[in-house]
Every structure is written in C-alpha cells, then in structure tokens.
A and B are shown apart, each in its own frame.
Chain A
Amino acid sequence: MSHRRDGWMDGLADGDVEALELRAATLARVEGEGGMRVLVRDGQVSDVRLDIYEPPRFFEALLRGRAATEAPDITSRICGICPVAYQMSACLAVEDACGVEIPEHIRLLRRLLYCGEWLESHALHVYLLHAPDFLGYPGAIEMARDHRDAVNRGLRLKQAGNAVLATIGGRAVHPVNVRVGGFHRLPRTGELRELRAVVATALDDALATVEMAAGFDYPDFEQPYEYVSLRHERDYPIEAGSFVTSSGEAFPVAGFPDRVTEEHVEHSNALHARMGGGTYVVGPLARYSLNADRLTPLARQAADRAQLGPTCRNPFRSIVVRAVELVVAAEEALRILDGWAPEGPAAVPVPPRAGTGHGATEAPRGALYHRYELAPDGTIVQAAIVPPTSQNLASIEADLRGFVQPRIGLDAEELTRQCEQAIRNYDPCISCATHFLTLTVETDDTVGPG
C-alpha cells in the first residue's frame, strides 16, 4: 500500500497543481489479484481506477467445439469459490437450448447444493476478508487472536458449506456430481441425516453472524444504485427466477443480452457491464432490496433485529445482508433436507438440438448469466458468460469517487484503507471477472506506471 503526493502525475501536472494519489498496488482480502488507484487534483477526485491485471482466461473460446454436456464442468473451473454457480447457470442454459424442463426434486437438490456454496462463500468473506475491516485488524490472523469465537464460528460455517458440497456434489471444491439434466446420483438417506445436524448448527452460527455484523459501525454513505437481481415467484432467488430491477423493469433471463452490454476499459483485464448504458449493481444488496418479501422466516426476523429495513443502499452494510443470506441458506437447506422425498431419477435426458439457451442464477456475488448457441449435435458454437464482478466493477469505481470526495482531508493512509474496505463491500472475485475472451490493450503514454 502506498500513497504519495505528486506521484504518477510527474511530467504531466504543472507545478502548482496539488495532486494526491491513493494507491493499493495489490488489493488485500479479495478473491484474485487487482489494484486500485484514486487520483485527487486540486481537491477533486479526478480519476478512479480498479486495475484488474490478473491475466484473462479465455474460457468462452475454450468452450467452442466442446459438447454442451461439458459446459458445467468446464465453466466451474472459472472459480474455486463459486463453482456451483457456474455449474447451475450452465445447466440451465443448456437445458433451455434443448427445451428441457427439470423436475421439482432436481431443482430442490440444486438449490440445496447452492445453499452450501452460499454458506462457504459468504462465511469466507464475512469472517476472513471483511470483518477485520470493521474490527480494526489488518487481517483474519490478527483478528483471530482477539476474536477466537467469531473466527471459529466463521470456519464452522464454511465447513458446513463444504459438507453440503461434499455430500450433494461429491467433493467440497469443484463438485463432480452435477450434470446437465440433474445429478449423476441422488444422495443417500443416511448421508442427508448426518448433513442435517451440521446444517442445524450452521443456522445457529448464521443467526449469531447477523448479530455480530449488526453491531459494527458503518460509515454514513448511501448510493442511488440501480439494483438488478433474479426474482422467483415464491422463494428468495438462488437457483431460479427472472430478472427485476429497482427502477421497476422485469424481464426474462433470455432478455439479458438485449439490455446488458459489456465494454472493455483500458485499465482492466475484466470487461465492465452496463445496462441501458448505465451502471448497476448485482449481489446481496440487490437481491435483498428486490426480494425482502421473499426472505425465509428466521432471516426476516434477523434482518428486522439488525434494522435493515426493506432496502439497503449503504454498501458497507452488505456484510449484514450477507449474514442474513447465511441464515437464508441454512434455513433453506434445512427445509429441503426435512422435506426430501425424491420422486424420479437423478437426472432427466437432455437430447441435443440446435438452438440458443440462456441461464442465470444468483452466485454469492450476484447474478451470473450464461448463453450457449448449440449445433444440432449439441456442440457449443458460441458461449457468453457474464459474471457478477464484471457487472459491479463500474459501480465499485463510482462508489470510490463518491466516498473519497468528502473525505479528502483524512490521512492518506487511513483513506486508502477505507477505499480498500469500500471495494471489499462487493466481495469482488477478480478471477471470475477475467474469464473473458477478447483483450485489446491500449496504452496511454500520458499516464505513468503504477
């Protein structure tokens, strides 16, 4: 972390300009590798850049020529934190292309598996990546020395998520039991009984997490976000639904590419997504604000106790919303486990046909969209994947602008730390965001090296 006056403005600024650069060359406590630069000139924030330098990964090109049945396993490798999200969006898109609807028991088992991923991912972010910001520690190791019970609780929650993935998905990272049309095998009753005990403990831990997060101090900062998330006719959105926005739009998953464009920006190996030309936000804040009426009963009570209200526009309170979603995940997992009475096979046939299919689910970080164009034999002709972090990058930069301006008088080191915290509000997954296909690097020689 560094901050300096007249740093990268050398050779560019005239001598009278007061320039302040806030810079984190490598962002701490995020998924993947990126940096941040905020430039202040003459008391005004003049430039904000989230530098995404992790190399692009070309997954969409990799998918061309592969069988559609391989899409869930290939795309799950985009991320070690949210592989289930990739598997689920891929399955939905391929099944959509082939005109197949999956039966209810398979939908429920997918939702149960997905709850495990929410538990894993949210627990990791809340406890090991984000809580140290609020408790005043450089990281989880330092925090653990003073807050053993909290960190142990976080590790237990993550292990509970691992147990769901291992039981339903076959292993805790990159599950192997998922296939287009369903699963390779259904779980056995004895396995689910053991899992239930673990998830019941996770529910208690999730409720305690909401209580902990609600007690943190939050900067007074709200943004006029355009929220976008899935919405389901009955449930809190996880593995199914169609899109809604906070400005009142509603559209099917197949309408996503008509509204969202991805553009390349010079300082980033990740595309920035825009809807109708404007920035928007996906993720826990969007899901909660657009689906507060779909919360599970204990999650609703916990949100009320945390005084979350019907919407939340303070990104720093995303940690409270993530905690509430831990409760949703544990409650939903228990509901599915308690009602589990499968009627039908582990998977339904998905005969290939030519066509285009769309799939979207709610990854822990927000809506994850897949589109596949298939040849008659099921070979993938074109693939497009829009992960949540790409959709949030423009808003992260907008947050930094709005956040830094009234705080310019703060000590630069402290302000840099707070900027990193503002980025962590989004739990950005840089590895997901750099999966994309084309990369055009244009250099601007007037900007010095970082």
Chain B
Amino acid sequence: MSRPLVVGVGNPDRGDDAIGPHVAARVAALGPPGVDVVERGEPVDLVPHLLERDHMVIVDAAAPRGRPGRLRVHVVGATAPAAGAGGAGGTHGFGVAEAVELARALGRLPARLVLIGVEAGTLSAGEPLSAAVSGCVDEAVRATLTAAGR
C-alpha cells in the first residue's frame, strides 16, 4: 500500500504521553489528501502496519531528558537503531522501538519510516499536556505532514 500512514502512539490521559494521539488527531482534522491516520495505535499493533505499508510516520512522546517540547525526527534506516530494543521485556516495555525491530526481524519495514518524538515533561495520570509540549504541537504537526510528504 503506497498511501502514507500516520500513527499516534501514547495514552491520551497521561500528561505529555498524549502528544502522539494529539498530533495524529490534528493531522486527521486537517485531512491531507491521500494520507491515512490512526489517531491512537498500540505498539504491538503497529507491527502489521509496518509489514504492509511503504510509507509510515509514527508520532510518540520521548522520555523526559530535561528539555520538554524538544522535537526529534528520526528516519529509520537499514541498520538497527540504538534504542536498545529487545524482545525480552514485559508487555509494558513493548514500545515503538520494539515494534520496529520486530517488523525488521520479520523481514520488512516501510521504505520510508519516520519516527517523530516530542520530549515529554510530565507523564502524570490525568494531567493535560504541559505548557512546553502544548507550545510545540503546531511544529510537530508540520513535521508530521512534511514526513508524510504533504
């Protein structure tokens, strides 16, 4: 399938972890032509998409490192990312990196696969997006549309 697919990953009710679904919902509302959107994807369920699609953009919160709102765009290449992905963790430890590596182990990744990470500030249950992360939503949406070729 050649249509680009945008997937937001994260829990909408856990502070900045909501940024993936938030950005994906904004992209869906803009309705870029020819782009499919899954507003909230589960990491394990990313794998079938990774095995089928030629072009995917995954938006997720990145672990807090002291600069909330910092945007990182990572184009997944032929070599394994240094994310320390492994299949030995529990299901709570199965994230985007593990989904990508499982699909790679199964022999296929989209020809163009872009991961957009927005560094989180707070991940507290029931909290809204932090001010720092709210402030970069427009930039993340633009980056996602660009990565989707629109």
Contact = CB atoms under 8 A, between A and B. Distances in A.
B123 to A, nearest CB: 14
Contacts of B105: 141-142, 144-145, 148, 151
B92 A144 contact: no
Contacts of B87: 128, 132, 137-144
Interface string A18-47: 000000001111111100000000000000
A28 B88 contact: yes
A141 B90 contact: no
B85 A28 contact: no
Contact of A28 (B44, B89, B98, B102): B89
B103 to A, nearest CB: 9
A155 B107 CA distance: 14
A29 B44 CA distance: 13
Contacts of A32: 90-92
Contact of A141 (B45, B48, B86, B92): B86
A320 interface: no
Contacts of A29: 88-91
B94 to A, nearest CB: 8
A418 to B, nearest CB: 15
A62 to B, nearest CB: 12
A129 interface: yes
B44 A31 contact: no
Interface string A234-267: 0000000000000000000000000000000000
Contact of A151 (B91, B101, B102): B102
Contact of B45 (A31, A138, A142, A162): A162
A301 interface: no
Interface string A105-137: 000000000000000000010001100100001
Nearest to A142: B87
B106 interface: yes
Interface residues of B, number: 20
B86 A33 contact: no
Nearest to B107: A148
A152 B106 contact: yes
Interface in A354-392: none
Contacts of A148: 105-107
A54 to B, nearest CB: 9
A158 interface: yes
Contacts of B106: 144, 148, 151-152
A30 B90 contact: yes
Given A141-B101, A144-B102, A144-B105, A155 B91 contact: no
A121 to B, nearest CB: 11
A139 B94 CA distance: 11
Nearest to A30: B90
Nearest to A141: B87
Which secondary structure dominates chain A's binding surface? Answer: helix
A31 B91 contact: yes
B90 A155 contact: no
B54 interface: no
B115 interface: no
B147 interface: no
A137 B91 CA distance: 16
B42 interface: yes
B137 interface: no
B47 interface: yes
B44 A33 contact: no
Interface in B25-83: 42, 44-45, 47-48, 51
A195 interface: no
Contact of A31 (B42, B92, B98, B102): B92
Listed residue (B51, B87, B102) with the most chain A CB atoms within 10 angstroms of its CB: B87
B117 to A, nearest CB: 20
Contact of B98 (A141, A151, A162, A173): A141
A89 interface: no
A138 B89 CA distance: 9
A81 interface: yes
A54 B47 CA distance: 27
A172 interface: yes
A416 interface: no
Nearest to A80: B42
A421 interface: no
Given A128-B44, A141-B86, A141-B98, 20 more contacts: A26-B90, A28-B88, A28-B89, A28-B90, A29-B89, A32-B91, A128-B87, A129-B91, A138-B86, A140-B87, A140-B102, A141-B101, A141-B102, A142-B105, A148-B105, A148-B107, A151-B102, A151-B105, A152-B106, A162-B45
30 contacts: A26-B90, A27-B90, A28-B89, A28-B90, A29-B91, A30-B90, A31-B92, A32-B90, A80-B42, A124-B91, A128-B44, A128-B91, A138-B86, A139-B86, A139-B88, A139-B89, A140-B102, A141-B87, A141-B102, A143-B87, A144-B105, A148-B106, A151-B105, A151-B106, A152-B106, A155-B47, A155-B51, A158-B45, A159-B48, A431-B92
Interface of A: 26-33, 80-81, 124, 128-129, 132, 137-145, 148, 151-152, 155, 158-159, 162, 172-173, 431
- Kindly list the 8 A-B residue pairs having the minimum CB-CB distance in the complex, ordered from nearest: A139-B87, A141-B87, A144-B105, A139-B88, A140-B87, A138-B88, A28-B88, A145-B105
